[in-house]
Amino acid sequence: MEEHLVDWSRAQFALTAMYHWIFVPLTLGLGFIVAIMETIYVRSGSEFWKKTTKFWMTLFAINFAIGVATGIIMEFEFGTNWANYSWFVGDIFGAPLAVEGILAFFMESTFFAVMFFGWDKVGKKFHLLSTWLVAIGSNLSALWILVANGWMQYPVGMEFNPDTVRNEMINFWDVLLSPVAVTKFLHTIGSGYVMAALFVVGISAWYLLKGRDIIFAKKSMIIGSTFGLIASLFLIFSGDESAHQVALKQPVKLAAMEGLYEGKESAGIVALGMLNSKKTLSNDEETFNFEVEIPYALALLGYHDTTAYVPGLKDLVYGNEARGIMSAQDKMNQGKLAVRALEDYKEAKKLNDTLKAADARIVLEENMQYFGYGHIKSPEDIVPPVATTFYAFHIMVGLGGWFTLLFGILLYLSMKKDISSYRKILISALWSIPLGYIAGEAGWVVAEVGRQPWAIQDLMPVGIAATKIATTNVMISFFMFATLFTLLLIAEVSIITKQVKIGPEGEQ
């Protein structure tokens, strides 16, 4: 397969996913915030809360449409650009996707129309129910796709079938309740709630800075910062569990996240650091130009034990017998045996040689665990881009900490003081909107770049997963998508900005 094909296929998927992730987090969280506001309206009957609900709902709708549009592309790109992958895992991946369609997507889309156009057409309670169902539906939609993603990071509940050459599901609940899937879901929707809260407090801060719509802004600020603070704390817990799962299931990713080349006991976390660009696996250069380390923290985060040994990239690539870590070369050898055994099995089947087929099958099953390593060329190839993973991880965590602090301050000032006079805080709140997007995207970069070269951990590298097609085709479609998505993003930002300027008084 052409070398650049894989890069372009990845670029196209990354482009779609990253654009999708600009819109989705806001949908996930703002849906609930709007539902909370409408609940207050229905309980109090106050026109003020109706207007407030409608204002945030308008912004929700503008953002929602483009999330849907980029979402459909992602679904079909599994087929168009990752056809081999789609076949290899379709039996597992497809089921959550179909369940998602039946259970979640229709809930979202049916009640979306009621929520927007039903104000005067249906009763107050039915309308409120619709708003809640949109929020629940969109979060359920996220569940199934993240279950699928979790499975790719940690494949469980399946069995390889050499006759069909694919993985077949043998336990749906193992797939659904896999710890990686569950933490991934919780951490991801949590980040969506934080994003939505940042959006609400940031825009409210802008009104306060402008000295307009003061009551509206203050009340929105209270709801936004309360919601944000709870979500941030939840994000810290789910993030901790997420890192623990990475340590157990994807140790190479964890080592890359921390730039840890040499394994050590009681490893610390580099809170702040700059990687030395000369550092490679094979030299003894210093890893960092400078770093500030928090001792014991990585061992604690990864293994919930301050004395734990955290393997470094060198251990994972070259093996460490003393610690019982297998080298990549050994895994590659096993992988090659598995790939060969599959070929033998197919050959024997064609010749109706059942004995030989049975032998080949035994070899295959013994080595299946490292099947994907059979396609890896050199041991060093199992290491993801360290700098990208490292910086993305640190940006995400750093910003997450800042948001927690910010929500705390905003909530305190909203409740106890006149927040309008704290202009610097308000300006920081406004500027935290783009930071929220950066943190969210960085999180996905850690998850996806950090697991390279795997499409499915240990089973299928990206190079095998991609559709076989002349690279030019993918290049052209990449630029088509890039242009269209960018135009639509500009349109969305421009429309939202204008709607914010019009303000809640524009709502009737």
Partner 1 sequence: MGFGDLELITLQQYWWVLISLLGGLFVFMMFVQGGQTLIDSLSENETEKTMLINSIGRKWELGFTTLVLFGGALFAAFPLFYATSFGGAYWVWIIILFCFIIQAVSYEYRTKPNNFLGKKTYEVFLKINGNLGTFLLGVAISTFFSGSEFILTDNNFVEWQNSLRGLEALLNPFNYLLGFALVFLAKISGALYFMNNIEHDAIFARAIKSIKYNMIFFLAFFLSFLAWVLLKDGFAVDADGLVFMQSYKYLSNFIEMPIVLALFVIGVVMVVNAVFFAVVVKKDCCIKTGGVGIVLTVMAILLNVGFNGTAYYPSTVDLQSSITIVNSSGSHYTLMAMSYASLMIPFVLGYIALAWYSMDRVKITKEEIEAPSAHNY
**Among 44, 46, 161, 289, which residue interacts with partner 1 (rule: CB under 8 A)?**
161
Q: For the chain, what is the radius of gyration of the CA atoms?
A: 25
Are the CB atoms for 442 and 396 separated by under 8 Å?
A: yes
**350/334 Cα distance (integer angstroms):** 24
Site for partner 1, residues 263 to 302, rule: CB under 8 A: none
Interactions with partner 1, residue window 481-500 (CB under 8 A): 484, 487-488, 490-492, 494-495, 497-499
Which of 24, 35, 73, 459 touches partner 1 by CB under 8 A? 73
The residue from 3, 47, 120, 321 that contacts partner 1 (CB under 8 A) is 120
How far is 303 from 309, CA to CA, in rounded Å?
A: 9
Among 22, 68, 338, 396, the residue binding partner 1 under the rule CB under 8 A is 68
* Distance in Å, CB of 487 to partner 1, minimum: 7
- Of residues 300 and 460, the one with the C-beta less far from partner 1: 460
Q: Which of 28, 114, 399, 456 binds partner 1 (CB under 8 A)?
A: 114
Counting contacts by CB under 8 A, is residue 122 touching partner 1?
yes
- 427: how many CB neighbours lie within 10 A of its CB? 13
Distance of alpha carbon 236 from alpha carbon 233, whole angstroms = 5
448-481 b/e (C-beta count within 10 Å ≥ 16 → b)? bbbbbbbbbbbbbbbbbbbbebebeebeebbeeb
When asked if residue 44 is in the footprint of partner 1 (CB under 8 A), the reply is no
470 counts as binding partner 1 under rule CB under 8 A: yes
Closer residue to partner 1, CB minimum distance, 58 or 414: 58
Could you tell me what percentage of the chain is helix, strand and coil, using 3-state DSSP and rounding each to the nearest 5?
75, 5, 15
Indicate which single residue of 44, 113, 215, 366 sits in contact with partner 1 (rule: CB under 8 A).
113
Which residues of 139-222 form beta strands (DSSP E)? 158-161, 166-169
Single out the residue of 98, 272, 294, 415 in contact with partner 1 (rule: CB under 8 A): 98
Least Å distance, CB 140 to partner 1, is: 12
- The distance from CA 359 to its chain's CA centroid, rounded to whole angstroms, is 41
In the bound complex, what is the minimum distance in angstroms from residue 50's beta carbon to partner 1? Answer: 11
Written as six digits, the tokens of 96 are: 């959550």
Among 39, 110, 306, 420, binds partner 1 (CB under 8 A): 110
| Separation between Cα atoms, residue 474 and residue 319, nearest integer Å | 38
Which segment (66-74, 267-275, 322-330, 383-391) binds partner 1 by CB under 8 A? 66-74
Longest CA–CA span in the chain (Å) reads: 84
Q: Measure the CA–CA gap between 87 and 168, rounded to whole angstroms.
A: 10
177 part of the interface to partner 1, by CB under 8 A: no
**Residue choice 8, 41, 55, 64 for contact with partner 1 (CB under 8 A):** 64
Task: Tally DSSP H helices, then E strands, for the chain.
Answer: 17, 8
C-alpha of 108 from chain center: 21
Quote the least distance from Cβ 224 to partner 1, whole Å.
23
Instruction: Give alpha helix (H) positions in 296-419.
Output: 297-303, 313-318, 328-350, 354-367, 386-416
Q: Which is nearer to partner 1, 240 or 492 (CB)?
A: 492
Which of 58-66, 226-234, 253-261, 361-369 is the region at the interface with partner 1 (rule: CB under 8 A)? Answer: 58-66
Binds partner 1 (CB under 8 A): choice among 469, 471, 475, 503:
469
| Binding-site member from 62, 146, 301, 337 for partner 1 (CB under 8 A) | 62
Tokens of 141: 């939609």
Kindly report the number of other CB atoms within 10 A of residue 337's CB atom: 19
Choice between 433 and 488, CB closer to partner 1: 488
Gap between the Cα atoms of 109 and 126, Å rounded: 16
Is the CB of 108 or the CB of 315 nearer to partner 1? 108
Least spacing, CB of residue 402 vs partner 1, in Å: 31
Q: How many CB atoms lie within 10 A of CB 88?
A: 22
Question: Does 471 participate in binding partner 1 (rule CB under 8 A)?
Answer: no
Q: What angle do CA 147, 135, 221 make, to 5 degrees?
A: 115
Residue 91 as a binder of partner 1 (CB under 8 A): the answer is: yes
Phi/psi of residue 204, nearest 5 degrees = -60, -40
Using CB under 8 A as the binding rule, the residues of this chain from 334 to 363 that contact partner 1 are: 346
Binding segment toward partner 1, per CB under 8 A, in 108-116, 292-300, 395-403, 451-459: 108-116
Q: Is 125 in the site for partner 1 (CB under 8 A)?
A: no
Token reading at 328: 């990549």
